Structure 1
C-alpha cells in the first residue's frame, strides 16, 4: 500500500492487467461473459469450472463450456469487464490497520505446515493474477480484538473458481512444504475446502468464490458489493486483501457497526431464498447468544420484514441445511426454552422458525 493515497489510489491497485483471468463483462470470441459455475458431474469432460455467457440465464444446469486460460492464444479475449472493487464508492476500500496484517500473519504462522500451504496457495493464485480476500469472522475478530483475537477458521473469497483451486492444490510443487497429500471438496453451494489427507477434521481453509445469484444453479463471478449482499451480518461482510493490505466494507456499515458501543447486529443479506434467510436467522441467534449486549434493532427490522409463512416456504430438501445451521449456531445447552425466548426477541418469523425446527427434531 506504500504510495497509494485515498480511495482512488486503492481502487487503482486492483486494475486488471493484460493477462488477467477472464471476468464477468469480458468478451470471449465475441460473446459477453455473464459469470461462471462449477459442474461436478458434466455430460462430457472432467468436473471443473464452466463459463457462462449471454443467453445462459435460461439454462437449468451448467453448460458444457470450459473457462479459457488467460494464456490461451486460440481464444480471443477482450478484457472489458470491471474489477471486483470498481463499483464501490467513498471509503469502502481502505488501507488496513497494522494490527490486521500482524494478526492474520500470526494466525497463519501458528498453523505450521498448514499455514505454509495456505500461503503457497494464495501466492499461486496471485501469480495467475487472481485476487483473494479473507472474509467473515476472522476479519471481524482481528479488526475488533487485534492480537487478542481467537480465530478458529480462515474463510476466503475471490475471483478463482473451485475447479482451478483443486487444480492448484493437486500440484505437488504447491505441497513441497511437507504437508503431504490433501483432500479437496466442493459443496453444492460452491464452497471449496481443503484438509490434510491424514487429518479428516483439520480443515485448512474454506473458499467460496465471489457470489452471483442470477442463475438457476450456484454461480460466481460477481463483485464485492454483490457478494456482500449474500453474507449474513454487516460485521461479517468485511474483506481483507493481505497482498495489497487493504480492507473492504461493501455495505458501508460493517466497520461502524463493529466499532459501535454496544456493537450493532444488523443483517446485510438481501436475497429472497428462504433457506438462506433461515440460516441468517440462526446466525442472528448465534450472535445474540455471543453478544447479549449488542444493539439488535437492525436484525429485528430485517426479520420483521420476512413473510408470515416464512417457515412454510422452506422446501423439504432445504431443511437439512437449515438444521445444519442450527447445529452450528445454537449450542445444545441453549436449545429449547432459551432458544425460543431469544427467537421471540428477534421477531415472529424467528419464533415460528425455531418452533418448526424443534417440532421436526423432537
Structure 2
C-alpha cells in the first residue's frame, strides 16, 4: 500500500526555491513586491507581465516595469515572501486520493496532441519552479464521480503570469513533439487560454493566475486563500496540484459541501463587484438546474444579503458579459418560467436579475 504523506510533509513540498520566480512579499532592489499584472498595450516594449511594487496601489494602470527573471544577476532579489499555501491551516492541503491523478491523466491522454501540449506546458512551468493547480469543475467532478468522471474543461491557476505562459507556449523546445499550432490569448481579466489554431473555439485549457483583488486594474500574485474567494461556489474552489499530487480546499467548505447528501450549493465569492455577483447568481441557477436535489439554503442566504438594486448597479457596458453568463449557465429549454421559479427561490436580487435579462433579450 502506498504511503500517505502527512500534512507537514505536503506543506513542506511548497517551500520556496532559492532559484524560483519572484513572488509577492519578496524584495527587489530594496522594494517590496506587492503583486503583478499584465500590460497588453505597453507604451514601450512587448506586451507582457509587469511587476507591482510598494506604492503602486494608487496607479490606475500597469506600470512600465517588467518582471525580473529568477536568474537575473543584475537585480538583487530577496525571497522573503510566503508560498501560496502558507496562509492555509488545518487540513486545507492534503495528499490527493489516487483516483484524482488517474482521472486527470486519463483526460489529458484523451486530448491527444492537445493533451501533449498541456502536459509539456505544465512540465515547463514546474521546471521554472512555478506551481500550477487544476481548479474548478474538473477537480469537483473527479473528486465526486471518480476517475471516469466526464470532464469538459481544464481550468488552471498558478504563480506564473499570462505573459510567461505565452512565452513558454511559443518556445520551440516546448513544441518539438508534434504538438500542433496553438493560438494563445489573454482576456481583459487576465485569463490566458490556448486553443488549436485551426479550431479556436475548442480550447485546450484556460489559466487565470492566482487572483489579487487590491488594484484598480486586474492583478495577480495572491495566495490560494485570496484566489478562492474570487470564485463562485465553494465546490468550485477546490484545487489539484498534479506535480505534488496534492489537493487544496482553501475555504475549508468545498469538500464538505461536495460530499454532503444532498450536495450543498454555497457561494464562496466575497467580492462586491455587482457584475461578478450577477454572474455568481447565474452560476447558482446553473447548478440548481443540474443538481435539482441540492440544498440551496446557503446560496439563498448569500443572495438575500445582496443589494436590492443589484441590477441597477451593473454598468451598461457590462450587460453583454452578464447575458453571456446566462447563455452559458441556463440551457434554452430552461429559460423562462423554469429559471424564474428558481431565481425566486434564491431571493429578490436573483429574481430581479433574471427578469431584467429576460426583458433585455426579449
Q: TM-score, normalised by structure 1?
A: 0.98
* Partner of residue 142, structure 1: 142
CA shift, 1:349, in A, is 0.4
Provide the secondary structure at the position in 1 that maps to 2:104.
helix
The aligned residue for residue 287 of structure 2 is: 287
> Contact conserved, 2:113 with 2:180, CA < 8 A, in 1?
no
Inter-partner Cα distance in structure 2 for 1:320 and 1:147: 36
CA distance in 1, matches of 2:174, 2:281: 39
Structure 1 contact 181–196 (Cα < 8 Å) conserved: yes
Q: Distance in 2 between matches of 1:114 and 1:182?
A: 9
1:100 alignment partner in structure 2: 100
Q: CA deviation at 1:245?
A: 0.3
Kindly provide the CA deviation profile for residues 163-197 of structure 1, in whole angstroms up to 9, marking residues without a partner as x: 00000001122112212221100000000001111
Given the alignment of the two structures, is residue 34 of structure 1 paired with residue 56 of structure 2, yes or no? Answer: no
Could you tell me how far apart the structure 2 residues matched to 1:23 and 1:132 are? 14
**1:297 matched residue in structure 2:** 297
Deviation string, structure 1 residues 55-102 (Cα, Å, up to 9, x no partner)? 111000100000000000000000000000000000010000001011
Q: Which residue matches 2:184?
A: 184
Distance 1:247 1:147 in 2: 15
Question: Alignment partner of 2:195: what SS?
Answer: strand
Cα separation, 2, equivalents of 1:313 and 1:159: 33
Shift of residue 3 of structure 1? 6.8
Unaligned runs of 5+ in 2: none
For 2:110 and 2:352, locate their aligned partners in 1 and report how far apart those are by CA, in whole Å: 43
Match of 1:317 in 2: 317
Instruction: Give the Cα–Cα distance (whole angstroms) in 2 for the partners of residues 48 and 88 of structure 1.
Output: 30
Q: CA deviation at 1:160?
A: 0.1
The Cα of 1:5 is off from its aligned counterpart by 3.8
Q: Secondary structure at the match of 1:147?
A: coil
**What is the rounded CA distance, in whole Å, between the counterparts of 1:270 and 1:149 in structure 2?**
29
**Contact 1:179–1:196 (Cα < 8 Å) also in 2:** no
Structure 1 residues 86-97: aligned runs within 5 Å = 86-97=86-97
Distance of 1:131 and 1:108 partners within structure 2: 18
Tell me, what secondary structure is at the counterpart of 1:148?
coil
d(CA) in 2 for partners of 1:310 and 1:56?
31
Deviation at 1:148, TM superposition (A): 3.1
CA contact (8 A) 1:162 1:209 kept: yes
Contact 1:50–1:66, Cα closer than 8 Å, also in 2: yes
| Contact 1:4/1:10, CA 8 A, preserved across alignment | no
CA contact (8 A) 1:160 1:209 kept: yes
**Residue matched to 1:219:** 219
Q: Which residue of 1 aligns with 2:75?
A: 75
Paired positions, count:
361
1:54 maps to 2:63: no
1:267 aligns with 2:267: yes
**In structure 2, what is the equivalent of residue 153 of structure 1?**
153
Trace 1:196-275 onto structure 2 (pairs within 5 A). 196-275=196-275
Moved over 6 A (4+): none
Aligned to 2:342: 342
Structure 2 match to 1:6: 6
Give the SS at the match of 1:294.
Answer: coil
- 1:110-140 Cα shifts (integer Å, max 9, x gaps): 0001101100000000000000000000000
| Alpha-carbon shift at residue 4 of structure 1 (Å) | 7.0
Counterpart Cα distance in 2 of 1:319 and 1:53: 34
Cα deviations by residue, 1:200-239 (Å, 9 ceiling, x for unpaired)? 2221000000000000000000000000000000000000
